Amino acid sequence: MSQKEQQEKKVSGEAPPANAGNSVAIQEMNQRFAWLEKAGEIIGFWGIIAAFILYVTGLVKPYIPISDMIHSWGLSVDEFVAKTNSFTGWSWAPRMFYSDYLSMAGLAFLSSVVIFAYAGLIPLLLKHKDKKYLGLVLAQLFIFILAASGILEVE
């Protein structure tokens, strides 16, 4: 149905299709973002469940024994890290063969889903030459990377 026909139907009061009022560019952006977010959510959700099963059943050894962790989780995060010799920043990443850090990798993946979805918008924004939103999306990606990099520290 052409845009003119849709407009005529709208004027006549007949309900237009669900995507009415949105340009092709916006519809494409919505569909791309939703697809990437959904795929990431499904992979991440089942990933954390699988890693957690390995963790709680003891099939894969954790870096911090569960009982030690439980008896230390009343401490503030800095005290906890010091007492358990656990890893901050990205230094846990090479230790994913421990089940607690494997579970952490699942959580880190879930925390990255939106970053991947945002990155997926860039080709569409370039295609539609939407410079303003391209700038906003790049700025948002910079903020995400800044947060994920671990550069920001509080003493």
Binders in 33-92 for another protein, by CB under 8 A: 33-35, 37-38, 40-41, 44-45, 48-49, 51-52, 55-56, 66-67, 69-71, 73-78, 80-81, 86-90
| From 16, 43, 96, 119, residue interacting with another protein (rule: CB under 8 A) | 16
Binders in 84-113 for another protein, by CB under 8 A: 86-90, 100, 103-104, 106-108, 110-113
Separation of alpha carbons 140 and 108, rounded Å: 18
Residues 6+ apart with CB under 8 A from 19: 27
Q: How far is CA 124 from the centre of its chain?
A: 19
| From 18, 59, 94, 129, residue interacting with another protein (rule: CB under 8 A) | 18
Separation of alpha carbons 119 and 43, rounded Å: 18
> Which of 110, 104, 67 is closest to 89 using CA atoms?
104
Identity of the residue, 5 or 78, whose beta carbon is nearer to another protein in the bound complex: 78
